[in-house]
């Protein structure tokens, strides 16, 4: 059974800003070069992939640099965004991502840095049967 998640109305603007940035690393309006991705990720950024493996910032940046725009991403759909404040200027954003037939739950921890945002952590977990 899915938990009943309710977004705090005080976080509506944060939810709006962050949901436009997801899925991370796939929004050219926010980042498309290695330098952009470096600015977008905290120095100690890491993620857990669908495989369960942990990936550090350097590995993720190397993969992003090798990857060119993937037209398959055009059909990706995001929904069910929820935002929770974790601490000063730090937020947990969760959502669902559909990539054609693949469904996953995503979690990203974001930190407000001045006028911009940085990613601290990301995880994608495949969903077998929605």
CATH of the domain at 103: 3.10.450.50
- Band of residue 40 on the pLDDT scale cut at 50, 70, 90: very high
Supply the pLDDT for residue 73. 62
pLDDT at 97: 92
pLDDT bin (cut points 50, 70, 90) of residue 1 is very low
Structurally, the chain folds into a number of domains equal to 1
The predicted pLDDT at position 64 comes to 86
Summarize the chain as % helix, strand, coil (round to 5): 25, 40, 30
Domain that holds residue 30: 10-126
Q: What is the pLDDT of residue 28?
A: 82
Say yes or no to pLDDT of 7 above 60. Answer: yes
Quick check: is 2 in a domain? no
Cβ 83 vs Cβ 106: under 8 Å: no
Residue 129 has a pLDDT of 64
Predicted structure pTM score = 0.88
Q: Does the residue 45 lie in any domain?
A: yes
- Looking at the domain assignment, is residue 3 inside a domain? no
């Amino acid at each position: 059974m899915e938990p009943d998640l309710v977004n705090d109305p005080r976080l509506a603007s944060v939810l709006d800003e962050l949901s436009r940035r997801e899925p991370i690393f796939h929004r050219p309006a926010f980042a498309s070069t290695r330098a952009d991705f470096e600015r977008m990720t905290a120095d100690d950024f890491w993620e857990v992939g669908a495989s369960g493996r942990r990936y550090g910032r350097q590995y993720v940046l190397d993969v992003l640099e090798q990857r060119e725009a993937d037209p398959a991403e055009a059909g990706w759909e995001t929904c069910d965004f929820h935002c929770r404040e974790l601490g000063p200027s730090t937020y947990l954003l969760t959502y669902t991502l559909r990539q054609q037939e693949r469904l996953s739950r995503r979690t990203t921890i974001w930190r407000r840095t001045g006028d911009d945002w940085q990613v601290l952590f990301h995880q994608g977990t495949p969903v077998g049967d929605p």
